[in-house]
Each structure stands twice: as structure tokens, then as C-alpha cells.
Amino acid sequence: MTLELLHKPGMAQLTSLGIGGNARVLAKVRDEAGLDELSRFVEREGSDLLAIGEGSNILAGDGELNLALVQMACERKAEAEISGTSVRVPADMRLPGLLSVLIKNGLSGMEGLAGIPGSVGGSVAMNAGSYGTDMQSSVKRVRLWTPEKGLFWKDAANLKWGYRHFSTGTDEFFLVWEVEFELAPSTEAEVRSRIKDTFDKKKATQPVTAKTAGCVFKNPEGYSAGKLLDDAGFRGRNLGGMGFSEMHANFLENKGNGTAAQALELMSQATEAVSDKFGVTLKPEVIILS
């Protein structure tokens, strides 16, 4: 079976925040041949489609979600192909796995991304970034799949990138299937040490082991969302089983039995307070599914 269908998948199991109801269906693409079946699936399901990776940037609503999810989940070990300073990986490889490959091969450029738990595909789709770098800085080209065109490569320069934003330039559903990176030569020891520094800094300032979806709001131009939330009194603010982290006010934590309703209410209170106090509008970084 190259396209596995699961009906009513639980969003709590598919996301790092661990909350939410059920989607309509989840299509897991098990290999490249599964993409033919995926074309027929996309035709059948219509427009409520969403690609999902590790679910580490998703806040799923409670109850029934009218969504058909598509996940690249191949049944083989995700391996990197390396040629000089260029590294090509399948999009279902996890970013920490890619960083381990870069350490072993002494390839530099992505050390600031240590601690981001998502898949390579999800990280491209979010243009994930931290500590002054992002995916765009190292991506050379992306192999996309769309129902119309199938698989094709697109150079990074011909894709649209922004702050936590990526677009293929059309509204058509797409799956990131493979990514090629261009890195700079370095040594194993140097890359390892820079990755360790980044991760140590994150461990000291962010709740890296809690159930979160990373930063909940984007940093407004010229501001830190975490500082605004802190100054507005939201650090450690709880509602039911959800709460803004004591460690970093821009991380919303599920303390065990949180719900999306509680998360969204806290986000709405925080947005209103920050707007009232500082005249700044906070925009969600998490993808909210309702």
C-alpha cells in the first residue's frame, strides 16, 4: 500500500502541542508511487487539504475538523545524498536529523536552527528560522509535488520567501518532497560546537521539552513578541490546562489537559492587551486549524 488512509485521525497525536479534535482523513504517502494515488485522493477530497509534517507548528481546534491531511511518511530510513557542499534530503527527514548529517560532514550554515523539532518539509513551508538564520539562507532548490504538475524541482530564487512565510506563487496545494541545500565547508568539531551553543542557549531560555508549538506569535517589526507579552503580564498566565510559559512568554504550553478553546482565548486576551498597552498588533506564528 503506497498511500495509507486513516479516518478520523486525532490531532492531539499528530501535533507537538497535543491538543485538538479529529481531522476527516489522513493520507500518508509511503513512497513515490503513492503520489499517483495521491492525485486521485486530492481530486476526491476537494479543497480542504492540508500538508502536515511533524505537527510542531500547529494549533488544532477542538471537535471535528473538516480537513483532509496529507503527510509524507515514507517507509524507509531518510538518507542524505551529499556531493561536496551540497546536501539533498527527503522532506520527511527531521531537521535535527539533517543537522546531525551536517555535523558529521563538517558543513556549516544551519547551526542557528538547532532545537527546531520539525520536518525538513515543514521547515521549508514555514521558512523556519532562529538566531539570525532561516531555511531560505541555505536552500538551493526544492522538489515540489502538485496535483497538476506532479514532481518538479524549483530553484529557491523562483520561490517566495519571507519571515515565517513561503509560497510557490500559486494557491494550488503542494507538498515539499525533497530539498537540496548549499552549505559552506567547515569542520565537524566547529559545526558540532556551534550547534551545541545554539541548543544550550535555547535550553536555558525556552521550554524545549514541554508540549508547545514553538513561538505562538510572530515578532512584530522592531519588537520581540516575547517581551511584549512579558510586559503585558502574560508570562505564566494560565487558563485551564493551557498557559504561557514561565520560561518564555511567547510559548504556549499544554500542561496536560489543555484545549484549543483555552489556547485561543489566551491568545485573544494577549493580543488585546498588547494592542491596548503598546499599540502593536500580534499575529499568530502557529498555524491555527479550525
Ligand X SMILES: Cc1cc2nc3c(=O)[nH]c(=O)nc-3n(C[C@H](O)[C@H](O)[C@H](O)COP(=O)(O)OP(=O)(O)OC[C@H]3O[C@@H](n4cnc5c(N)ncnc54)[C@H](O)[C@@H]3O)c2cc1C
Residues catalogued as catalytic: 164, 215, 285
142 forms part of the interface with ligand X (CB under 6 A): no
* By the rule CB under 6 A, 90 interacts with ligand X: no
Does the footprint of ligand X cover residue 52 (CB under 6 A)?
yes
Q: What angle do CA 236, 18, 131 make, to 5 degrees?
A: 60
116 binds ligand X (CB under 6 A): yes
1-9, 41-49, 102-110, 124-132 -> range binding ligand X (CB under 6 A): 124-132
Q: At what angle do helices 95-104 and 188-205 cross, to 10 degrees?
A: 150
Query: Reading across the β-sheet that carries 3-7, which strands appear in turn?
Result: 3-7, 25-29, 68-72, 49-51
Task: Count Cβ atoms below 10 Å from residue 2 Cβ, excluding itself.
Answer: 16
Does residue 90 contact residue 71 with C-beta atoms inside 8 Å? no
Supply the minimum distance, in Å, between the C-beta of residue 64 and ligand X. Answer: 19
Contact window for ligand X (CB under 6 A) among 1-9, 148-156, 189-197, 210-218:
210-218
Closest separation in Å from C-beta 39 to ligand X: 16
Write down the least CB distance from residue 185 to ligand X, Å. Answer: 25
Q: Which of 126, 156, 191, 229 binds ligand X (CB under 6 A)?
A: 126
Q: Return the H-helix or E-strand segment holding 271.
A: helix 260-278
Give the distance between the most distant pair of CA atoms in the chain.
55
DSSP state letters, 43-92: HHHTT-EEE-SS-TTEEEPSSB---EEEEE--SS----EEETTEEEEETT
| Residue placing its CB nearer to ligand X in the complex, 52 or 99 | 52
Instruction: Establish if 226 lies at the interface with ligand X (CB under 6 A).
Output: no
Q: Of residues 27, 51, 191, 267, which one binds ligand X by CB under 6 A?
A: 51
Q: Does 183 bind ligand X (CB under 6 A)?
A: no
In the complex, which residues of this chain contact ligand X (CB under 6 A)?
16, 50-58, 72, 91, 115-119, 121-123, 125-126, 128-130, 174-176, 208, 212-214, 287
